[in-house]
Amino acid sequence: MPPRPSLQSLLLMAASAAAGGDSGLLLAARRRLPAAALAAGGHRIRLLHAFSAASRRGRHEVACCVRTEPAPRPASPVAVRSRSVHSTENYKKGCEQRLGQLIERLKKEGISPKQWRLGTYQRMMCPKCNGGSTEEPSLSVMIRMDGKNAAWQCFRANCGWKGFVEPDGVPKLSQAKNNTECETDQDGEANLAVNKVYRKICEEDLHLEPLCDELVTYFSERMISPETLRRNSVMQRNWSNKIVIAFTFRRDGVLVGCKYREVSKKFSQEANTEKILYGLDDIKRARDIIIVEGEIDKLSMEEAGYRNCVSVPDGAPPKVSSKLPDKDQASRIILATDADPPGQALAEELARRLGKERCWRVNWPKKNENEICKDANEVLMFLGPQALRKVIEDAELYPIRGLFSFKDFFPEIDNYYLGIRGDELGVPTGWKSMDELYKVVPGELTVVTGVPNSGKSEWIDALLCNINDQVREHARKLLEKRIKKPFFDARYGGSAERMSLDEFEEGKQWLNETFHLIRCEDDCLPSVNWVLELAKAAVLRYGVRGLVIDPYNELDHQRPSNQTETEYVSQMLTKIKRFAQHHSCHVWFVAHPRQLHNWNGGPPNMYDISGSAHFINKCDNGIVIHRNRDPNSGPLDVVQVCVRKVRNKVIGQIGDAFLSYERVSGEFRDADKDTAKKAAVAAANAAKAPQRKG
């Protein structure tokens, strides 16, 4: 069994696959498609080749770039050798025909750049999202050199458009061999990279020279010293009377690739050369590794004292292996990619590939009041090397979804201790006798039950009015509780004065500002999911803090045939609790008890709720609303509020409270001591009474 690849090998594979950047090859020649392809598309395709690596007679010493004539260039493109012989005219003709078909199919998808690049990932504007508000070239397109397929993907999180096209006549077996990435064997990936034959290049063949004074000054303005440039073999090349910076990619000191950069930030690189991490030799024996997104960022890290840094060659990869390296290969990998969305996407991709459990990420500091530094070089330029060192020293563990430490919640815990929100000890109900037993806490679930006509809904309406004090019939009840006057001149109002028009208008305004209604307009029962979706919208749009679901039996409960009612209720209550906790919204859930066959007239138990004992088991607070119906047993206008469960001991306890109900206004008040005492005695006697059929 072959040995597992080392971390360096994995990083090399990452570099080989990570080719989503804007780093195309320099144009050296054009070819026309054959007549058949031109007839189909009537266009040209630019084939991009490398600078010549043809051998020269004798070696030339590296000299200063200041000269009057450009260096001589080869007249023809370089022939690329491979293990298989593909030099026949039939093969070339087949490649060009396939490429013609691919170009046509890409154009039908809206992919049509100014020039086509083969065998490398090409960045361009996505025709679906147009780069979003920043108009970034977020689409990565790859066309195989042999024309067997083309693939693309947009790396904007809000788009993600991707696709794959292939020409006619490509055998499926060939496609599978050429296009399927090895997801189960990383050694297979390593073998693919090893078996490919790359060009051998050297500084003389590429006409590389030491940096001129102008470029040394350019780097000094970016706080990169001549010593750092020399150690990393940063050079230059004269191309068409234009001087470009040459970043040399080396393994074991041997030049294997070269990337060019103009001062205007246009990139290109040598074709058919192996793509490796920039600075690969600097992490050979490093236990801590820093990964950045650009060559200048790697040089900036060295200025801050960190040589154990590499840069990915071309940005975010479009496809990666799911295999992770052995955990003993590196103790820490610090991801210091750019602060912009593509840079953060690259960090996520690298962390996924290398294992989030050993990755760390940096937080870039502010460079002024309104902006943060984009990358390592900006920190070095604006804040200095000490600030860049602090960025690395303060790197945080890369977040893993669902895995937290208490530090993540310290701000919330601090606010709880200091009472910043003001509701940490619960929101008072407005009734003194109740506040000793129960208060309202955002994010909790309260289940309310009671036999029919006990006043459950009336009590919740009054509670909501009390809380908000510190469709038609529902509005009338709420307005009466708010204004404390009857809505109509009707018999139930007795001699009480009806609310005035001004009071009515004031109450309407209060209603509109305080409550929102969720009601199903369709000829069907609403489901719990439907209610929670609308409640979520109300939280996000209006900032509501409380939700009343009243009553449970008027919801649609079409549970699967293979699910028991107990399982269904458990799942439903879990959804409601998650909603409450996630949105810091208190939920009151009104549920009726099952039919009581041997009822003694006393308050029911929470376990009597129809459906499942999960109503009492899963709720944070359990309340039973009960009123006496027997005039011989006690006062009829007193409501007994039985608090039967309080999970949070900070805000309450189990016990009973007695409230007087004013029938005219629908108002609840704390019962006076004598009334409460009589009601308590009546409740105790009812509990002792023999059960009777309900």
Cα dist. 300→246, 333, 514 in Å?
A: 17, 18, 56
State mean pLDDT over 638-645: 90
Domain count across the chain: 3
* Domain presence at residue 387: yes
When mean pLDDT is compared across 6-20, 68-82, 641-655, the lowest value belongs to: 68-82
* Domain presence at residue 418: no
Residues 297 and 444 in one domain: no
The rounded distance, in Å, linking the Cα atoms of 472 and 440 is 27
Q: Is the pLDDT of residue 49 over 50?
A: no
Residues 365 and 460 in one domain: no
Residues 225 and 284 in one domain: yes
Residues 258 and 393 in one domain: yes
Residues 620 and 536 in one domain: yes
Residues 461 and 328 in one domain: no
On the CB side of 323, how many CA atoms lie within 13 Å of its CA?
21
* Domain presence at residue 693: no
Q: What share of the chain is helix, strand, coil (3-state, %, to 5)?
A: 35, 15, 45
The rounded distance, in Å, linking the Cα atoms of 126 and 157 is 12
Q: Say whether the peptide bond before residue 167 is cis (omega within 30 degrees of 0).
A: no
CATH number at residue 357: 3.40.1360.10
Residues 160 and 294 in one domain: no
Q: Which domain holds residue 343?
A: 203-397
Question: pLDDT of 306-327, one tens digit each?
Answer: 999 999 987 544 443 343 334 4
Q: Is the pLDDT of residue 673 over 60?
A: yes
* Domain presence at residue 15: no
- On the 0-12 / 13-18 / 19+ scale of CB atoms within 10 A, 287 is exposed
CATH number at residue 559: 3.40.50.300
Residues 272 and 321 in one domain: yes
Categorize the per-residue pLDDT at 38 as very low, low, confident or very high, splitting at 50, 70 and 90: very low
* Domain presence at residue 480: no
State mean pLDDT over 281-298: 92
Categorize the per-residue pLDDT at 196 as very low, low, confident or very high, splitting at 50, 70 and 90: low
Among 377, 397, 417, the domain-final residue is 397
Among 353, 382, 397, the domain-final residue is 397
Residues 444 and 538 in one domain: yes
The C-alpha angle 239, 243, 247, rounded to 5 degrees, equals 95
DSSP three-state, residue 351: helix
Residues 158 and 275 in one domain: no
Report pTM: 0.46
* Domain presence at residue 389: yes
Hey, what are 618's tokens? 């899963």
Q: Work out the angle between the directed axes of helices 7-17 and 341-354 (0-180°, nearest 10).
A: 140
* Domain presence at residue 563: yes
Residues 290 and 365 in one domain: yes
Q: Which distant-in-sequence residues (6+ apart) come within 8 Å of 193 by Cβ?
A: 12, 13, 16, 274
The DSSP bridge pattern shows strands 162-165 and 150-154 to be antiparallel
Q: Is the pLDDT of residue 21 over 80?
A: no
Please give the residue that has the higher pLDDT: either 568 or 301.
301
* Domain presence at residue 58: no
Residues 134 and 282 in one domain: no
State mean pLDDT over 476-505: 72
